[in-house]
Amino acid sequence: MGNHFPVGDRSSSKMPLGEDGNAWKKKTSDIKEMYDFKEVLGTGAFSEVVLAEEKRTQKLVAIKCIPKKALEGKENSIENEIAVLHKIKHANIVSLEDIYESKSHLYLVMQLVSGGELFDRIVEKGFYTEKDASKLIQQILDAVKYLHDMGIVHRDLKPENLLYYSMEEDSKIMISDFGLSKIEGSGSVMSTACGTPGYVAPEVLAQKPYSKAVDCWSIGVIAYILLCGYPPFYDENDAKLFEQILKAEYEFDSPYWDDISDSAKDFIVHLMEKDPRKRYTCEQALQHPWIAGDTALDKNIHESVSAQIRKNFAKSKWKQAFNATAVVRHMRRLQLGTSQEGPGQTTPTSPCHGDLLLPEGHENSAAGCDGGCGKSADGSSGLQNCTYRCHPASRV
C-alpha cells in the first residue's frame, strides 16, 4: 500500500450522511427559518457559499451549502473538512460556527470575514513596507503553528486563502478554506498530490512522503510574493514549472529585490529550502529576526510591489469557493444604507435555494456575484471573476 493516505482516511467510524449519530449536526427542515439568504458568494466543486443573516441576531454569516446528492462517494472528504474545522479555535483562522442538516443539504455556518483579499488590500494601500509584510507573515505563521501543534496540515496555503477579517485599516488576516487539510496520525506521512502548483513544495511534486513542512514552503512562497509582487516560479508550461520547483530554482531578481533587506531574503531562503528536513518549522521562522526582531525595513515599496501584483496576478475567470470582493461590496452597501435585498432576489438557479442539483460539470452555472461575473460572450456559465491566478507577464 505504501504511504498513500487519502483525504479523510482517519474517519474509521464514519456515520453515513443523513443518519443520526453525529452530535455536531443539528437537524432542520428549512434553513431559511433561521437565516435570510442574501447573495451567492462563490461556488466550489460540490458546494456553494451564500451570504446570510441570522434572523434572531441579525448577524451576518457565510453558509456553505452542500447538496447531499453531490456528496455521494465524497462523504469522507467533507467529513474530513468538518472534523478539522470543528477542532480549530484561533484568532487568525475562519471558524465553523454551526452545522445544520436537512433532507437534501448539509449547511456549514462559517464566520464571515468581510475585509477582502490580501492582494486587493496591498494594491489599494498608498504605503506598504517590509514591516507590513513581516506582520502579515507573523500572523500566518502563528496560525499555521497552531494547526501543526494540533497535528493538522493545511496543504493549500496561498494568497487567495488569506482574507482580511474586517475593513478596518489594522484588520488581522484570516486563513480560510480547509478543503485539502489533513489531520496527521501519530507519525503518519502523506503522499497524496494536492495543492496549487505555484505554491506546492518540491517533495509533493516528487510524490514523496511529506508532512507539515509543506505548509512552511508555501509560507515562504507567499512571503516572496509579498515583497516583490510576482511568484518565485513561473512558466506557461506546467512541466517546466514543476522542474523549477523540484530543483528549488528561484532568484532575487534585480531591480525588484534591490531595496529588500538581506534579512528578508535569508528568511525566505530558510523556508523555501528544498530539503524538508532542513526547512524552517513555523516555530523557527517565528524566531527569525525578520519576524521577531527589527530587521524588516520601513521603506515604502508599494509602487513596485503593487505594479507587479497587478501585472502578474490578474483577476481570473475561474470559479472560487468564496468571493471576498462580493462581501466587501455588500458591507459597503450596508454602511451606505442602500442594502435592500429581500428573499426574492436570491439566485433562483442555485441548488441552495431549493432547485434541482445541476449535473456534474455544471456546478458553476448558478449566477455569480454582481461584479460582472455573468455569462461570457460565448454563452458559457457565469464563472466567478474573483480569484487571483498567475498569468504570463514578462517582468524584464
Q: Do the Cβ atoms of 40 and 49 come closer than 8 Å?
A: yes
The neighbour count for residue 386, using CB atoms within 10 Å, is 26
> What is the distance between the alpha carbons of residues 268 and 54, in angstroms, rounded to a whole number?
43
215 tagged catalytic: no
E strand residue ranges, 158-225: 162-164, 173-175, 182-183
> What is the distance between the alpha carbons of residues 176 and 147, in angstroms, rounded to a whole number?
12
Coil, helix or strand for 49?
Answer: strand
> What is the distance between the alpha carbons of residues 219 and 109, in angstroms, rounded to a whole number?
28
Annotated active-site residue in 9, 120, 132, 156? 156
How would DSSP label each residue in 95-156? -EEEEEE-SSEEEEEEE---S-BHHHHHHH-S--BHHHHHHHHHHHHHHHHHHHHTTEE---
Coil, helix or strand for 218?
Answer: helix
Cell 451606505 maps to which residue?
A: 336
What are the percentages of helix, strand and coil residues in the chain, rounded to 5? 35, 15, 50
Of 94, 130, 109, nearest to 59 by C-alpha is: 109
Tell me how far the alpha carbon of residue 99 is from its chain's centroid.
Answer: 20
> What is the distance between the alpha carbons of residues 171 and 236, in angstroms, rounded to a whole number?
35
Is there a binding annotation on residue 69? yes
Q: Do the Cβ atoms of 97 and 24 come closer than 8 Å?
A: no
Q: Do the Cβ atoms of 156 and 214 come closer than 8 Å?
A: no
> Which 8-state DSSP code applies to residue 355?
-
The residues annotated as belonging to the active site are: 156
- Can you say which residues are annotated as belonging to the binding site for ATP? 69
- Can you say which residues are annotated as belonging to the binding site? 69
